Amino acid sequence: MAYFQIDKLVKYFGGLAAVNGVSFEVGQGEIFGLIGPNGSGKTTTFNMISGYHRPTSGRVLFQGREIHQLPTHKICHLGIGRTFQVVKPLGRMTVLDNVIAAAYSRTNSHHKAKEEALKTIDFCGLMPVKDVLAKALPIAGRKRLEITRAMATRPELLLLDETAAGLNPSELVEAIDLIRKIRANGTTIVIIEHIMHVIMTISDRIHAINFGQTIAEGTPKEVAANQAVIEAYLGTDYA
């Protein structure tokens, strides 16, 4: 039994199939990359895993348990955290309060929540801006806040949706370091990423989809050499 598994996941919006029969398995402790061109169904897949969309058919299994009918907040309590591609900071709360709100998912005590939040903020390197309002953060800070907040819910599985987009090269290096640090901490990661250099460096395995369907899966090297993947990204002329 796989640690985390999606099984023939299908999602129709109206008559349009956004995801059409995607399956993959993720092992515990893995960094698993999910790639595909724009509109290929990556974020929709994430939304189904985290309970924002109900799959039209198919299953999502976490530690052997079916979770695709559960509401989002229950999925969070089961230990699946996520970040959003379009960041969703709690704008008029400070960074610390954002993270405290997240830490409350594991405790009812303010004292404990604050302690946990400070620990997570320190771990993710946001200490210098902890008292800044979330809406005042630059984009790199907001992306990092997304990760920090998700981490404060103490996830066993973390879904990262394009956390590297919009970062400059030095910020990219920091982001990669942080993701590695999170994995070293024992968290399994599924990551959507557009920046090839990033996903190829950090992923153990990569799953490529296009038009809602699987086109390749394997190690970064195998996927990068895959004909279908190259076609999907560059068009048939370059293949």
Least Å distance, CB 189 to another protein, is: 16
With beta carbons less than 8 A apart as the criterion, state whether 176 and 160 touch.
Answer: no
Per the document, the length of the chain is 239
Smaller CB separation from another protein, 150 or 229: 150
Q: What is the distance between the alpha carbons of residues 212 and 45, in angstroms, rounded to a whole number?
A: 9
Place of tokens 């989002």: 72
Give the shortest CB-196-to-another protein separation in angstroms.
27
Binding stretches for another protein (CB under 8 A): 50-52, 71-73, 76-77, 81-82, 84, 88-93, 97-98, 100-102, 104-105, 108, 110, 113, 149-150, 152-153
CB of 108 to another protein, least distance (A): 6
Give me the least distance between CB of 172 and another protein, in Å please. Answer: 24
Q: What is the CA radius of gyration of the chain?
A: 18
Q: What is the DSSP string of 100-139?
A: HHHHTTS-S-HHHHHHHHHHHHHHHT-GGGTTSBGGGS-H
Comparing CB distances to another protein, the nearer of 83 and 210 is: 83
CA distance 221 to 26: 18
Rounded to 5 degrees, what are φ and ψ at 160? -110, 120
**Residue 157 contacts residue 187 (beta carbons within 8 Å):** yes
Judged by beta carbon, residue 105 or residue 214, the one nearer another protein is 105
Pick 91 or 138: Cβ nearer another protein: 91
Q: Judged by CB, which is closer to another protein: 107, or 227?
A: 107
CB neighbour burial string for 52-82, b if at least 16 within 10 angstroms, e if fewer: ebebeebebbbeeeebbebeeeebbebbbbb
CB of 237 to another protein, least distance (A): 30
**Nearer Cβ to another protein (148/210):** 148
Nearest distance, CB of residue 74 and another protein, angstroms: 8
